[in-house]
């Protein structure tokens, strides 16, 4: 039997974050303020929280006047005499947080966790990532204790200068349907700092200057006179040597704020005021001003290396060892028998917008996401693992990445105890993130993050599959089909991660991104994967992607029109063109093309369920009339 629980509007339990760090004041005891009792759903949890940071179930944010996207990574009361009555908290630098178990197969999971150390423990690969595992049923058995080693990836927030170390440890060879306990840490770190990784450079020719937001002052960087932020380069160097020197200054450790520079190789253009030929002008922000006449000026934009990049040895991380996490329990999965899973999409961290009506905008205000449902269903034996079909946090990188911290720390109440199989939606590509934060979370599934395998059918973050019990799950990221709209490059990279950028200098989505290559790869993987399913072992085949192929959505309804206008990506409707490409015409990303590409596969391989989110409503379509071969079970 396959049991799928489709989770909708939900609730949360109180979450205590004992190792988190208050930002603006020391934390006071929750019991010191009698009115705080209404913010908690459980009095015993409030008492046990003492003066820890927390996310009380009735107050994910302490101030409902803040924007709806304000809930971050917990908060606490301030001591008397502080400037504010509360402070936000942040993840700990020397203790594991945001723990979650990723589904690898029926007998293996990968545990992922974060240390908020500025990326130190991931930067040099000198630390050892470890998980200690032991059987816990019917009682803890010390004889079963095992130590597993893992690796780290470095993530830099897209909307701030913060860096996080992500750590990944695979726990394989698990006995089926067995209770285990585990804990994690990072150890054996060295104090030596490796040389910083060098950025790549995007070069644009024929501009007046690339500025757009202020100059980065480097002083007498070249031992010569300085004209504002444009140091005069030493004489006697070739143009290539001068550009290399400019790159070295902009990439230096003390120049992290430098976003790029304008290079003036000759006098044959309209120079910026007070700029001398042969100078390079450093910038905090890169944008482009077109020339008023012919120009050979060039802009070199510093581009961060895409992540995650797994540690492969060499160097050492400038970090201390972390503490062990607490012991956490989970039950391993299975290759046969009754299969129980939760499947859902589109989950953020919000306070309630539900009644009373009109809203009072006053605390207490119950939280609005489904972690409480998941925890309760797990304890009741209704679900064993989860499938999340994209759109996380809204969005990971809001508020400098702290919204993603709060999302994962809250989610950890479930994910630290049950594996999940996450996917990507359009919101993972907003906030300039390009899907990279979720890629760091899931790097334990794809440690090499290959774009294509040798056979052309290797799993990647954009398409993978897994067998659990009676179910074969095929996860697809179809964002490139839906996220094409005017201006999409600067909003959500048109649903493409860095791996599928064909020409970074192009401002035309059709040439900037390799849609043809992506489309060929995802279709080849899906066909090969479905063809290999053994229905005697996994009779149920579930395909999931974030975007629905069928919907009752009325694009002309005033509420939907208003919603699309308020969204930076227009709601990612995949609306144009409205028909798939015909013979001899190159396919263009759209919902219509996705239906033309994948509907035949659903029919040919008798896929039982296609599950999607995106529309934030519940609808069931059984055996579409134009797909007669589709089997509805």
pLDDT of residue 224: 31
> Are the C-beta atoms of residues 210 and 288 closer than 8 Å to each other?
yes
Question: Residue 461 and residue 164: Cα distance in Å, rounded?
Answer: 20
Helix, strand, coil share of the chain (percent; to 5)? 20, 25, 55
Torsion on CA atoms 472, 475, 478, 479, rounded to nearest 10: 160
Look up tokens 């306070």; give the residue.
351
> Are the C-beta atoms of residues 493 and 569 closer than 8 Å to each other?
no
Q: Give DSSP secondary structure letters for 163-211.
A: EEEEEEEEE-SPPTT-EEEEEEEEE--BSPPPPPPPPEEEEEES-SB--
Q: Can you read off the two tokens belonging to residue 550?
A: 């069928």
> Are the C-beta atoms of residues 105 and 53 closer than 8 Å to each other?
no
* CA 334 to chain centroid: 28
- Put residue 136 in one of left, alpha, beta given phi > 0 → left and psi -120 to 50 → alpha: alpha
Q: Give DSSP secondary structure letters for 320-347.
A: PPPPPPPPEEEE---SSS-EEEEEE--E
Angle at 404 between CA 402 and CA 405, to 5 degrees: 60
Residues of the chain with pLDDT under 50: 192-193, 211-228, 267-277, 286-289, 291-293, 306-317, 354-359, 448-456, 628-633
Question: Residue 463 and residue 499: Cα distance in Å, rounded?
Answer: 13
Question: Residue 225 and residue 204: Cα distance in Å, rounded?
Answer: 27
> Are the C-beta atoms of residues 444 and 102 closer than 8 Å to each other?
yes
Question: Residue 31 and residue 50: Cα distance in Å, rounded?
Answer: 7
Residue 88 C-beta-side C-alpha neighbours within 13 Å:
15
Q: How far is CA 89 from CA 150, 285, 448, 505, in A?
A: 28, 29, 33, 40
274: which residues sit within 8 A by CB, 6+ positions away? 227, 228, 230
pLDDT of residue 579: 80
> Are the C-beta atoms of residues 310 and 118 closer than 8 Å to each other?
no
Angle at 113 between CA 109 and CA 114, to 5 degrees: 160
pLDDT of residue 257: 63
Question: Residue 426 and residue 451: Cα distance in Å, rounded?
Answer: 20
What angle, rounded to 10 degrees, do the helices at 591-604 and 515-531 form?
Answer: 20
> Are the C-beta atoms of residues 465 and 459 closer than 8 Å to each other?
yes
DSSP H helical segments within 275-392, as ranges? 371-379
Q: What is the pTM of this model?
A: 0.79
Look up tokens 């490139």; give the residue.
480
- CA quadruple 554, 559, 564, 565: dihedral positive or negative? positive
> Are the C-beta atoms of residues 174 and 153 closer than 8 Å to each other?
no
Residue ranges and CATH numbers for the domains of the chain are: 1-192+315-353+361-421 (2.60.40.10), 200-303 (no CATH), 450-633 (no CATH)
Spatial CA neighbour of 173 closest among 108, 246, 87, 269: 108
What angle, rounded to 10 degrees, do the helices at 371-379 and 402-415 form?
Answer: 10
Element (H, E) at 148: strand 146-149
pLDDT, tens digit (0-9, with 9 covering 90-100), for 100-110: 999 999 999 99
Q: Can you read off the two tokens belonging to residue 411?
A: 């989610």
pLDDT of residue 225: 28
Query: What is the overall mean pLDDT for the chain?
Result: 81
Residue 633 C-beta-side C-alpha neighbours within 13 Å:
12
Question: Residue 526 and residue 598: Cα distance in Å, rounded?
Answer: 9
Question: Residue 385 and residue 345: Cα distance in Å, rounded?
Answer: 14
Spatial CA neighbour of 155 closest among 530, 416, 436: 436
Spatial CA neighbour of 448 closest among 499, 392, 504: 499
DSSP H helical segments within 61-197, as ranges? 120-123
pLDDT of residue 282: 63
């Amino acid at each position: 039997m396959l049991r799928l629980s489709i989770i909708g509007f939900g609730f949360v339990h109180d979450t205590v974050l004992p190792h988190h760090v208050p930002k603006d004041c020391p934390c006071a005891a929750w019991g010191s303020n009698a009115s705080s009792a209404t913010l908690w759903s459980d009095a015993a949890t409030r008492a046990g929280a003492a003066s820890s940071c927390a996310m009380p179930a009735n107050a994910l944010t302490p101030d409902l006047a803040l924007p709806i996207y304000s809930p971050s990574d917990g908060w606490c009361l301030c001591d008397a005499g502080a400037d504010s009555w509360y402070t936000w908290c942040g993840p700990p630098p020397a203790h594991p947080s945001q723990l979650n178990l990723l589904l690898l197969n029926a007998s293996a999971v990968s545990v992922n966790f974060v240390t908020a150390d500025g990326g130190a423990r991931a930067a040099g690969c000198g630390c050892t990532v470890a998980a200690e595992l032991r059987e816990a049923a019917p009682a803890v058995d010390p004889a079963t204790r095992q130590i597993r080693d893992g690796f780290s990836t470095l993530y830099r927030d897209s909307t701030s200068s913060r860096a996080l170390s992500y750590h990944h440890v695979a726990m394989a060879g698990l006995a089926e349907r067995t209770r285990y306990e585990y804990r994690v840490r990072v150890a054996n770190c060295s104090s030596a700092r490796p040389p910083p990784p060098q950025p790549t450079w995007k070069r644009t020719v024929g501009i007046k200057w690339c500025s757009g937001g202020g100059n980065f002052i480097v002083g007498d960087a070249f031992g010569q006179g300085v004209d504002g932020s444009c140091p005069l380069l030493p004489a006697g160097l070739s143009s290539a040597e001068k550009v290399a020197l400019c790159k070295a200054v902009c990439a230096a450790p003390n120049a992290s704020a430098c976003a790029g520079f304008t290079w003036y190789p000759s006098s044959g253009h309209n120079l910026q005021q007070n700029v001398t030929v042969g100078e390079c002008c450093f910038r905090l922000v890169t944008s482009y001003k077109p020339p008023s006449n012919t120009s050979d000026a060039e802009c070199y934009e510093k581009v961060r290396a895409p992540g995650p990049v797994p540690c492969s040895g060499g160097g050492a991380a400038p970090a201390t060892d972390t503490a062990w996490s607490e012991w956490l329990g989970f039950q391993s999965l299975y290759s046969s028998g009754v299969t129980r899973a939760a499947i859902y999409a589109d989950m953020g961290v919000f306070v309630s917008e539900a009644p009373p009506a009109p809203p009072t905008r006053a605390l207490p205000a119950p939280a609005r996401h489904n972690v409480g449902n998941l925890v309760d269903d797990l304890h009741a034996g209704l679900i064993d693992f989860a499938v999340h079909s994209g759109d996380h946090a809204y969005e990971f990188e809001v508020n400098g990445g702290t919204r993603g911290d709060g999302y994962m720390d809250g989610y950890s109440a479930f994910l630290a105890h049950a594996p999940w199989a996450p996917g990507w939606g359009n919101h993972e590509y907003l906030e300039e993130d390009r899907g990279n934060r979720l890629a760091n979370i899931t790097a334990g599934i794809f440690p090499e993050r290959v774009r294509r395998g040798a056979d052309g059918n290797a799993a990647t973050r954009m398409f993978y599959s897994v067998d659990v019990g009676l179910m074969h799950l095929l996860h697809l990221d179809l964002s490139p089909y839906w996220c094409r709209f005017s201006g999409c490059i600067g909003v959500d990279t048109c649903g493409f991660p860095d791996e599928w950028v064909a020409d970074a200098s192009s401002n035309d989505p059709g040439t900037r991104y390799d849609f043809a290559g992506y489309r060929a790869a995802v279709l080849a993987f899906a066909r090969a994967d479905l063809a290999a399913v053994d229905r005697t072992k996994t009779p149920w085949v579930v395909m999931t992607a974030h975007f629905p192929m069928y919907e009752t959505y009325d694009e002309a309804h005033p509420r939907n029109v208003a919603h699309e206008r308020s969204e930076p990506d227009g709601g990612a409707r995949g609306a144009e063109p409205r028909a798939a490409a015909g013979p001899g015409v190159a396919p263009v990303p759209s919902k219509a093309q996705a239906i033309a590409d994948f509907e035949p596969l659903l029919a040919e391989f008798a896929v039982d369920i296609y599950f999607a989110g995106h529309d934030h409503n519940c609808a069931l379509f059984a055996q579409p009339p134009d797909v007669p071969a589709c089997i509805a079970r």
